[in-house]
Each structure stands twice: as C-alpha cells, then as structure tokens.
Amino acid sequence: MNKGIYLYPAISVLSGTLLALQFHWGAVVLALLLLSLFLRKMTYTILFLCLLFLFISFLNTTLQEKGQKTVLSSESEPIDSQIVINDIPTIDGNSFVALAQIKKEKVLMRYYFSSEEEKRKFQQVKPGFVCEGKGQLTEPKPNKNPNLFHYKNYLAHRGVYWILDVQAIGGCVNQSKWKHALIHLRFDGLKKIEREFPSSSVGVTQALLFGETGMIADDTMKAFRELGVVHLLAISGLHVGLIFAILHYCLLRIGVAKESVTWIGIVFLLCYIVLTGASPSVMRASSMLIVILLSRKVASKLRIIDSLCIVFVMLVLYDPYSVFNVGFQLSFMVSFSLVVSSAVILNTSSSIAQLVKVTLIAQLSSLPIIIYHFYEFSLMGFLTNLLYVPLFSVIVLPLTIIVYFLTVDWLILFHKYLLDGIQWVSAFIASFPLNTIVMGKPPFLLLIGYLIVIYLMFVLFEKRKYMLPGLILLFYGAFHMLLNTYDSHGEIVFMDVGQGDATLIKLPYNRGTYLIDTGGEVQFPKEEWEERKNHFSVGEDIVVPFLKSKGITSIDTLILTHGDLDHIGGTEAVLGELKVKEVLISPNSEEKGEMKKIMEIARQKRIPVKEARYPYSWAGDKDGLHIVSPQDEEYEGNNDSLVLYGEIGSLKWLFTGDLEEQGEEEFIQTFDLPIDVLKVGHHGSNTSTTEEFLVETNPSVAVISAGESNRFGHPHPEVLERLKRRGITIYSTGENGAITYRFWDKKGTFSAQLP
C-alpha cells in the first residue's frame, strides 16, 4: 500500500465536515485536496474514496447538527426537577458547577452555597448522584465582544443549550451505575491529591495525573502560557507514551506473555482516556496506540502517519465539532508535522540535535493556531521547551506518579519543593520584558498565508535549508504586525464590559491609540470559604484580550474619567499587560478608593499621571481630543468625570463618563458644541441625558454602556423615551454587545456585535 494513503480520506473528512459547518474553510481544504490529487496523479480508486468520505462526512455532520435540538424552554417560573450529575463537579469558593441532566437533556447546573457546612456536604457529590432541585433555565450568553471566547458555542458543541441556576436543592442520593466506575476513580484520585499533597502542588499534580487544571494557580498558568510550555500542564502524547511504556515494561518484567500485554495495554488505554478527562490530546495519542496495536494483531504493520489519519477520521466522524477545539487542532497539527518531518529529525544521530529539531518543528507548526486563538506567541518558547520538556519527561512526571502511589512524607515534601522551584523560576523568566509578541488575530486570508508559509518551511527543511525558512517566517510575521499597526482604517469600539465603561479609540496609520476607562465589577465582602480561586475579571478576561486581538501592545493615553470601580476596575490588568505611555485622571481623584492602588502601580512602572481639566487637549488638530469638563479642581464624583470632545472619522463625539444633570447643565452653559455621537452619561440613568441637554447638543446617535438586565435598571425607560422622541439612533451594549464605528477618511459605519 502507498505510504500515507489514509491521508486523503482524512483530508476529505475534514473538508466535508467544514463544508457543513463553516463553508469558507471547507472550500479551502477541498481546494487543497483537489490540488494534491491533481499533482500526484492519483488513481480513480483514490478519487472515489475521497469523494465517498467527503459525502459521508458532510452527511454525518449535517445530520448531527440537525439532531442537536433542545426540548426544554425558558419559563418565567422556576422549574422543579430531578437533577442527575453527569460529570465531576467544580467547587470553587461558594459556587458549585456541574454538567447535569434534567428531563433527559444535558444542562450546565450552577448553585451557590449558603453556608460552609453545606459546601462540605457537597464535596462528596459525584457523577451518578441525583438531586431534587428547583431552578431557573436561562440561555448561555453569546459572545458580546469581537474575537473573544464564544461560550455559548462552546456549550452547544457539547450538546448543552441551557444553564440551570438552582435556587433550592434537596438531598442528593447516590444512584451511580457501573458506567460511572471509572469517573469515580478519577474523582477519588483528585480528592486524594487534595487531601495528601501540599496546597501549592495540588494543581500541577492533578493536571499531570488526571488532566484537571482547575486548581492550578492563575499566576502559574499565566507564567507557563507566556513561556510557551502550558501544554506540559495537560495530559499529552508525551504522558500517554511514557505511562504506557512503564506499564508495558512492568508487565513484561513480571512475566506476562506478550500477547496478553497487548490486550491489557489496549484496555488500559481505553480506561486512561476516561480517567484523564478525555482531552483531545489523550484521545489522539491513546487511539493511535490502540490502532497500531490492533494492526499488529492482523499482521499489518501500520505506519504512524496512517494511524494518525485513521484516528482523525474516527474522532471527527464521532464528533464533528471537535475540529473547533483548540486542543484538538494543536494535537493533530503538531503530531502530523512531526511525523512528516521524521526524516529531517532522524538524519542526525545526536539526541540533542533531534530534541532541537522536534522542538523547532512543534513550535513552528503550532504558530498559526496559537496566533489565531490567543493573538500572541512566546519568544522564549523554543528555549523553554528545550529545558522543560526533558525536565518534565525524565524527572517531574515519573516522580509525580511515584509520589502519588507511595505517598511517603519525605518524598511528597521533595516533590513539593521541586514544583515550587519550577513555578518560581517560570514566574521569574516570564517577568522578563518582551517575553511575548502580540500579533493580533489574523484575518482569514492572512491565516491561509501562515499555513502556506509553514508548509514551505517544512519543504525547505527537507532540503536542509534552515536559514531561508526562518527569514520567510520573520518577514511574514512582520507583515502581519504592520497590517495591524498601520491599518488605514480607524475604529472606535464601545466594549461590552457589563455594568461599566471601556472605550477604545484607534486612529488610522497608528496616529494614536486611546482607552477611555477599563470597566470593572463590584466586589462584595466574602468570608474565606466563599472566596473563589478563579474569579471573573473584566480587565483580564475582556479588555486585555480584546486589545491584544487587535494587535494593540501600547496605549498612548489611558483616560480614567473618575474613580468609580465600574470605570477603573480593569486598569490593573491593562497596566500589567500593555505599555501605557500616560494616564489622565480627573483632578484630586487619585485618593479615591481603587484609584489609590492604580496610582501606586503607575508610579512603580514610571508611567506619567496627569490631572486633566478644561482646556486640556492633545493629538493635534486632526482627530483631536479635548477635555471639556471638569472646569475646576474640586472632585465631587460623577459630575467631575473627565468629558472628552473630538472630531474623529468626520463625526463629532462626546464621551461623558458618568456625567449627570448638573454636569450637563454646566457643559451647555459653557459650550455651543453640536455633536453627532453621544456616549450617554451614567449608563443611561434618569439622572442624566436631560431634554435640555439633548436639544442643545442635538446628537443623531446615542451609545449606552450598561450591563444586560442590570440591578440598577439602566438604561432608564425615561431616557430611552427622550432619545426615541428625538429620532436618535440608539445602541446599547447590554442589548447589542460591543458597538464599533469603523472609518476610513471621511466615511464610516456603525456595527453591533449582536444583531
């Protein structure tokens, strides 16, 4: 049989699946398949197989997509139902989250404990438990900001269409069945680590042995991600291969026959998939080993590339949505690249040289996927992988396995010090400047270009040309960055940060990048047992990722309109992740609450902080921004918000912060400035946007930044009525998600993230 013959059915399955789910990507893959068939002059048999698998995968995906329907519906009244726990729950602080089932449909269950005693009781709830509960069904929120994680799609791809917010829950009864046995072993293993290991090593130990990363400290995860070695904290082919090799060796040593070792190994791999949470990398590596072992049973030595393709076909036909999973994409892309480059890797006998080549190929092949999903890549990744991969393979992972089973005190302590040392070194290296390069999310055609460049690099590697491919990638990456940095279009984006404000102004040709406020969320005092390890942060989870997706690494001016947390709560994340050249604040607001902490961070980073008031202005005559309020140096809260006026993209804009009626009255008494676009003050409360103010400013568009269904009732119905009465076009982040005005020269258009 021809080498790599299974590659064509695999590409056909990918093409058919994508044609059903995302036509443009499917068309690209199909074009590559047809081109490959033409260049290699494949037989009619191969062509028939490709068309057959193309049809099967397209039909399979279409049928699965149509079959994914919900029988539940959102009702105004809470529903009473039996709740069957399907997966290991996540308990974080006062929250309990689990995949569950009600009325034979999967839902995501959320519950908040009322006491520490109740939390302790729920620690033993595991898959197979059935609880009597009362709760409200709500639809998962769609992605309301460009380029960010689409949680609703993520759940839908797992067959989950509803979130059940449980308000009351009765006793939970263990009704586990035999099918839960392996999941219970996983549950018990995780609990054993929590009980017997020091708290600082629990997260990494759970990740290495069971693929559970929820307990890893945020700082550790961030450091590993910036160093490009976060894959070592997930169960990968490396782990599967090492553990299988240990099992194989031990079975042979105790005298088990080779025939039996093979079958025991296959059963173990099937169990291991469940024990480690069935991540894409484990599914891929374990399934490949199983396919290879089974092929030997029928006297057919299967090539690695063929086993990889067979597993790909099986997994995609079983779950078409897996092609959108980042872990799935990385696992198969890196594995495929290493397999097809095996001749290049093995043309030297030096193990160090082979390690260098493997690391380089893995880094390069994963680059397009990493940039597309995370918008940045680690400059240190190549060097840190050269150090960390052998360290984890030879020392950390084997030691972790030994410590887990022996649980000897001095060994656990040594293991703790080793992990603590690795985490400290990782954080130290990650603190170096220019550790990562922010590229921004590549558009469709640019991403295709990356894939072509990577392909050309591998072709040149086979010809032992190493300098030229590096230069090609360097120039293409520089081209990508220049496209983002010197874009001829400008943008004004009102991000959806919930009940808060955050506005990006990005001028064409890199003439200026300004950020007005950073959003934030109010934190209420909690007892120690209620504190969550992983809490949502507007700055870290919305503002910074969005800016990075735009390729933004530097803010020329950060304007903090006033000291309220919903306007400045994300500032710490912005100052920590991006270069900020200067900060503007309202006079005498630096001692107000959260602002004191921000001022201290700015001083430590030597960022100039200026108190601005009328008539402060900057950015020259073109696209100029002017501070028009406050006009004195006394800080009294909302009415002393920094108010900005500017003509940008042929429109006159007024950004009002939390300006209320008194501030609006002072503004119209001082200025005669008709405007086109009004950022409505104080989230649309009835203390702002008076009729007189609207008459004097006469805006044609109003943008309201307010959280969906917020507890303050913003925007107020009276404000909306005043705006509608004057024929003003209204955009609200609560309803429409992020609002973007994209302009070029004197033309521009508004668009909303949600229709």
Structural tokens at position 695? 């008459």
Question: In this structure, which amino acid lies at residue 222?
Answer: K
First and final CA of the chain: distance in angstroms? 53
Mean pLDDT is highest, among 1-5, 201-205, 241-245, 284-288, for 201-205
Q: What is the pLDDT of residue 402?
A: 92
What is the mean predicted confidence (pLDDT) over 630-644?
Answer: 89
Q: Is the dihedral of CA 658, 662, 668, 671 positive or negative?
A: negative
Amino acid, res. 424: W
d(C-alpha 608, C-alpha 602), whole Å: 7
User: What is the mean pLDDT of the segment spanning 120-147?
Assistant: 92
Find the range with the poorest average confidence among 41-45, 49-53, 565-569: 41-45
Over range 385-404, report the average pLDDT. Answer: 92
**What pLDDT, on a 0 to 100 scale, did the predictor assign at position 686?**
93
Q: What is the predicted pLDDT for the residue at 460? A: 82
Contact in structure between 162 and 72 (CB atoms under 8 Å): yes
**Is the torsion defined by CA of 179, 182, 185, 186 positive or negative?**
negative
Residue 523, SS3? coil
Q: Quote the mean pLDDT of the chain.
A: 89
Phi, psi of 586 (to 5 degrees): -70, 145
CA pair distance 559, 566, nearest whole angstrom: 14
Mean pLDDT of 112-135: 92
**Angle, CA 78 vertex, CA 76 and CA 81 arms, to 5°:** 135
**Banded pLDDT at 38 (limits 50, 70, 90):** low
- Which pLDDT score, from 0 to 100, does residue 26 have? 76
Burial of 382 (0-12, 13-18, 19+ CB in 10 A): middle
pLDDT tens-digit series, residues 421-468? 999 999 999 888 778 899 999 988 898 888 888 888 888 877 777 778
Which of the four pLDDT bands, split at 50, 70 and 90, describes residue 621?
very low
Tokens representing residue 631 in the block: 């006009």
Q: Which of 168-177, 259-268, 463-472 has the lowest mean pLDDT?
A: 463-472
Q: Of the candidates 280, 207, 205, 288, which has an alpha carbon nearest to the alpha carbon of residue 241?
A: 288
Q: Which of 602, 558, 549, 551 is nearest to 583 (CA)?
A: 558
What per-residue confidence (pLDDT) applies to 233?
A: 87
Task: Of 93-107, 246-260, 620-634, give the range with the top mean pLDDT.
Answer: 93-107
Torsion angle, CA of 748/753/754/755, rounded to 10 degrees? Answer: 20
Q: Which residue has the tokens 């109003």?
A: 702
pLDDT tens digits along 550-589: 999 999 999 999 999 999 999 999 999 999 999 999 998 8
Does residue 673 carry a pLDDT above 90? Answer: no
Task: Identify the band that residue 343 occupies on the pLDDT scale cut at 50, 70 and 90.
Answer: confident
The per-residue DSSP string of 588-635 comes to T-TTSTHHHHHHHHHHHTT--EEE--TT-EES-STT-EEEEE--SS--
Q: Which of 97-106, 169-178, 397-406, 717-726 has the lowest mean pLDDT?
A: 169-178
| CA gap 127, 14 in Å, rounded | 33
Interval 8-37: pLDDT, tens: 889 889 989 998 888 877 787 777 777 776
